[in-house]
Amino acid sequence: MFIAAILGVVTGLLAWHQVQSERRIDLDDIASRSHVLAQQLSGRVVGSLQLPDEEARASLEDRLDGYRRLLGYAVFRPDGSLVAAGPAVVEFAEVIEAAVVEALASKHEVIRLTRAAGARLHILAEPIPEGGPITGVLVVAHDVSYLDDRATARFANYAFWILLVTLLAVTLVVGSTWLAYERPLSMLADWMRRLRVDDAVEAPPGLPTGRLRSESDRLAASFRAARSTGRALSEAAMYSEQVWTPDRLRAHAVAALGDANQLIVVSNREPYMHQRRDGKTEALVPAGGVVTALDPVLQACGGVWIAHGAGDADRATSDANGRLTVPPGDARYTLRRVWLTREEEQGYYYGFSNEGLWPLCHLAHERPIFRVTDWEQYRIANRRFADAVLDEVGSGKGVVLVQDYQLALVPRMIKEARPDLRVGLFWHIPWPNAEAFRICPWGAELLDGMLGADLLGFHLQQYGNNFLETVDRMIESRLDWDHFAVDLRGNRTLVRPFPISVQPWSERHVPEGDELAQQQSALREQYQLGDVYIAVGVDRIDYTKGLPERFRACARLLEQYPQYRGRFTLVELGAPSRTHIPRYREHLDHLEALAEEINWKYQADGWKPIRFLVGHHDAKTVHAFLQMAPMCVVSSLHDGMNLVAKEYVAARAGADGVLILSEFAGAARELPDALVVNPYDIEQFVEAIRQGMEMNSVERYARMQRLSNQVAENNIYRWAANLLTALANTQPNVVSTSAGS
Ligand code: F6P
């Protein structure tokens, strides 16, 4: 109604404006015509005005009549008296005389448009002769009543057309808005409702292509994933009445895997590495998430762990087939070492895995390097690991858990030889978005290798979403969004999130009670820690861990809050890692120089703000520091999960403590009671450290209890149980005939 009123007013104004312009043109025409007529008669009138009235009237008589719209002429003397007038003009004498009086007074022509006796008149009163003493006034009068009728007709005509064109335009705009905007939105709303209440989840076919379409496809995918995760979680909840233990996992594995209960784990990194030091051979537990997480699972379930024998005493401590039982002195499972040549290790591990895939998957602004020779070695090494798996399985049955990005081709290689084996692949690092992954020159081959697995696990749903989108973009396969699965070359791969976790410290052989207290006071003395407030960090020295950001935040804290000088120390337990790669060596050098620079600036009386302890730290030392530090700092720039965060929480069970945790570590999704920071934002980082130090004990305790309940409930045994349950429920070798993404 309002729009109609506006439309009416606008149309009226436009039509009126047009009619007025045309009326002005018509009046200009009449005025020109009157001038021409006056011009033609003026010679004769000048002559006549020389004569007395009677004769003058007689001489003009035949020229004063008008025709049609021209009413006629009238002639006046300079004193305003009428000499002669046409018969039609006489009727309007009053208005004409008024114009004559005005012309005589102004000595200029006067044009009047006026209404008299029911008619519209146009009057020209022109003094004559032009340019000399005035001898009279000649009047030309027109009846222009027709102009009013014409204006009315024109107004109606214009109003009609303007209205018609406007209505057409409005119809077009409204129609196209409905088509392009309202209809898709209402379809979207309808579809979202169905997505919520029914199982109908295909995005509506009528949606326009482009972002709306692709975003709704993603939304649908996430929704399906959430739903299937929800189903999986509710299944898992059946097992959650009690905390998961090694015994419970063992029993569960036997039940879930049935006769295929030979468990084979394959990873690049071995859980126990033998090294020669000072003429003696010692077994080290390498730093890193895979070992921390998988060793307790193998200790609980038994089985075989196949890994690269990278220690310089590994061959001497294995049998002819590369086998030995571990843990040393407490045989729980078999470690089968795979031997790689120097060239293979260089290309496969240092090159393609850690200079290519590692920076590709972590958003830490490090450029990936892809060399064709590295890729060749990656394929060769993956074949070696796959062959070792097949050798261990023999003709028997088993379940194979392949670990991480170093072994992406292994699942397909195993399946090609043994389609009946159940194969899971767990990806311990983030999966980037499809656009980022595309730069890998052998991305399609990697995806194909991974999609040999029956189950593909990531820490977060987000990484699974990224993976499916990558598959969608890069290879011809059939995506089953409802089940979050991919069918490729006869194999179906389920993609699921399994947030990895840690083993309770109570199960590890670490000092407790007095022994722990003694160890801690020895460490305080060794590193001159006195009774300062300790923030601890435990990391492999890797550019993804945000160590420069952490060091700089400590320096800024002391600059901004001088009261903490002498009272706060960051103890960073840094394990050198991948030091054969120049970038890692440079990073270590940079960190040592940075710590030195900060210490030099602030250190006093034996106190240092940063104790950067570079070396291999065993579980006992790590535990002692986690136990005595009221704060732990994890500042990864990007991290699949980060188990140090969970290790700290597990070490603080029953106590208080503050965890500063990067929002870019997967663990941040599960540990909201940490102080979550953006490590790139130094001011926020500093405030979090200050807030943690100043936090009252009630809050510290409450937060840490919620965190440790979360980690205790979702420990590594539950992770393994969920993974094995999901893998046991897969159906290996399902042949799919349709292809096309
Ligand atoms: O967490 C990712 C990861 O590559 C794991 O596979 C491994 O446990 C850890 O980092 C350590 O890396 P690396 O085995 O190269 O020393």
Query: 451: CA distance to ligand 1 center in Å?
Result: 22
**Per-residue confidence band for 205, with pLDDT thresholds at 50, 70 and 90:** low
84-88, 321-325, 552-556, 678-682: range with lowest mean pLDDT? 84-88
Q: Which residue has the tokens 């919520």?
A: 196
User: 451 CB less than 6 Å from ligand 1?
Assistant: no
Query: What is the average per-residue pLDDT within 595-619?
Result: 97
Give the C-alpha separation, 272 to 243, whole Å: 28
Whole-number average pLDDT of the chain: 91
Q: Which atom of ligand 1 is nearest to the CA of 358?
A: 4
**Per-residue confidence band for 488, with pLDDT thresholds at 50, 70 and 90:** very high
428-432, 551-555, 670-674, 736-740: range with lowest mean pLDDT? 736-740
Handedness of CA 124, 23, 40, 68 (dihedral sign): negative
pLDDT at residue 427 is higher than 60: yes
pLDDT for position 165: 87
pLDDT for position 215: 67
pLDDT for position 224: 61
**Is this structure's pTM higher than 0.75?**
no
CA distances from 594 to 12, 24, 504, 588 (A): 78, 86, 35, 10
User: 288 CB less than 6 Å from ligand 1?
Assistant: yes
Nearest to 150 by CA among 118, 123, 120: 120
> Mind spelling out the 3-state secondary structure of 165-184?
HHHHHHHHHHHHHHHHHHHH
Query: 287: CA distance to ligand 1 center in Å?
Result: 8
Nearest CA to ligand 1 atom 16: 577
Q: Which residue has the tokens 């397909």?
A: 412
Q: From start to end of 407-490, where are the E strands? A: 422-426, 455-458, 478-480, 485-488
Give the C-alpha separation, 313 to 317, whole Å: 6
Query: 407: CA distance to ligand 1 center in Å?
Result: 12
Q: Probe ligand 1: pick from 265, 266, 267, 268, max atoms within 8 Å of CB?
A: 268
Query: 578: CA distance to ligand 1 center in Å?
Result: 10
Q: Do 498 and 458 meet the contact criterion of CB atoms below 8 Å apart?
A: yes
Q: Which atom of ligand 1 is nearest to the CA of 289?
A: 8
Give the C-alpha separation, 442 to 352, whole Å: 11
Query: 288: CA distance to ligand 1 center in Å?
Result: 5
pLDDT at residue 496 is higher than 50: yes
**Per-residue confidence band for 734, with pLDDT thresholds at 50, 70 and 90:** very low
Q: Probe ligand 1: pick from 305, 361, 428, max atoms within 8 Å of CB?
A: 428
Q: Do 298 and 328 meet the contact criterion of CB atoms below 8 Å apart?
A: no
pLDDT for position 597: 98
Query: What is the average per-residue pLDDT within 331-352?
Result: 98
pLDDT at residue 241 is higher than 70: no
User: 269 CB less than 6 Å from ligand 1?
Assistant: yes
Nearest to 715 by CA among 308, 293, 106: 293
The dihedral over CA atoms of 477, 449, 643, 225, expressed in degrees to the nearest 10, equals 10
User: 662 CB less than 6 Å from ligand 1?
Assistant: no
User: 326 CB less than 6 Å from ligand 1?
Assistant: no
Q: How far is CA 469 from the centre of its chain?
A: 14
The backbone torsions φ and ψ at residue 229, rounded to the nearest 5 degrees and listed phi first, read: -65, -40
pLDDT at residue 1 is higher than 90: no
User: 353 CB less than 6 Å from ligand 1?
Assistant: no
Q: Do 552 and 682 meet the contact criterion of CB atoms below 8 Å apart?
A: yes
Nearest CA to ligand 1 atom 15: 578
User: 538 CB less than 6 Å from ligand 1?
Assistant: no
Q: Which atom of ligand 1 is nearest to the CA of 287?
A: 11
Residues belonging to the chain: 741
pLDDT at residue 737 is higher than 60: no
- The predicted-structure confidence for 641-658, as pLDDT tens digits, reads as follows 999 999 999 999 889 999
26-30, 302-306, 484-488: range with lowest mean pLDDT? 26-30
Q: Which atom of ligand 1 is nearest to the CA of 540?
A: 11
pLDDT at residue 441 is higher than 80: yes
pLDDT for position 135: 92
User: 639 CB less than 6 Å from ligand 1?
Assistant: no
Query: What is the average per-residue pLDDT within 253-276?
Result: 92
Q: Which atom of ligand 1 is nearest to the CA of 641?
A: 1
User: 577 CB less than 6 Å from ligand 1?
Assistant: yes
Q: Which atom of ligand 1 is nearest to the CA of 292?
A: 8
User: 429 CB less than 6 Å from ligand 1?
Assistant: yes
User: 459 CB less than 6 Å from ligand 1?
Assistant: no
Q: Do 162 and 14 meet the contact criterion of CB atoms below 8 Å apart?
A: yes
Query: 640: CA distance to ligand 1 center in Å?
Result: 11
pLDDT at residue 295 is higher than 60: yes
pLDDT for position 239: 45
Percent of the chain with pLDDT over 90: 72
pLDDT for position 731: 83
pLDDT at residue 212 is higher than 80: no
User: 542 CB less than 6 Å from ligand 1?
Assistant: no
Nearest to 434 by CA among 403, 471, 489: 471
